[in-house]
Structure 1
């Protein structure tokens, strides 16, 4: 389960960077809307999956609310899920 969460964290981080680094500039500067829509849907689904898995993992491993809050905040920051994976998840696999 932890490996699935780690994969989801990486994919969520990549989708976040694609959304803000590529598709949003395409949408607002080049008036190309379709990539933003598809990457946005993917990112939204991955974000929800990330949060559900974060709750499940924190519950199963008895990590507590502090670690969950760290994982939540990491999902809101660019490169945050990569940092969380390296600092909090990789050593626990």
Structure 2
């Protein structure tokens, strides 16, 4: 069975990938080629992954002993391109 921690790692990876695809592939296609189909296709999955990332981070914070500052950094990383990859490297690899 997958633990909450492993679920968070997977969600963080997928959320980061979906954000990169949305920002650097789908959005330019929408505005340069006037084709919004890719934004529509990636928008909903990214939104769901974003919400799952936030919820799982808040749920995991006490068990991983993240203080308020650390949790805030982890939450803010979700809105910065490549931020979830930084979280994985800095906070998740050394946690378990």
Same fold per superposition (TM over 0.5): yes
- Counterpart for residue 42 of structure 1: 45
What runs of 5+ residues in structure 1 fail to find an aligned partner?
none
1:56 and 2:59 matched: yes
What runs of 5+ residues in structure 2 fail to find an aligned partner?
none
TM-score, normalised with respect to structure 1: 0.94
Distance in 1 (alpha carbons) for counterparts of 2:61 and 2:5: 10
The offset of 1:64, in angstroms, is 2.1
Richer in helix (by share): 1
- 1:39-83 Cα offsets, whole Å, 9 max, x none, are 011111000000000000003333221111010111111111001
- Give the 4+ runs in structure 1 shifted more than 4 A: none
Deviates more, 1:66-75 or 1:44-53: 66-75
- Counterpart for residue 69 of structure 1: 72
Q: How many residues align structurally?
A: 93
Equivalences for 1:11-22 in 2 at 5 Å?
A: 11-22=14-25
Distance in 2 (alpha carbons) for counterparts of 1:26 and 1:67: 35
The offset of 1:35, in angstroms, is 1.0
- Counterpart for residue 34 of structure 2: 31
- Flag the structure with more relative contact order, 1 or 2, with Cα contacts below 8 A and sequence separation at least 6: 1
Distance in 2 (alpha carbons) for counterparts of 1:22 and 1:77: 16
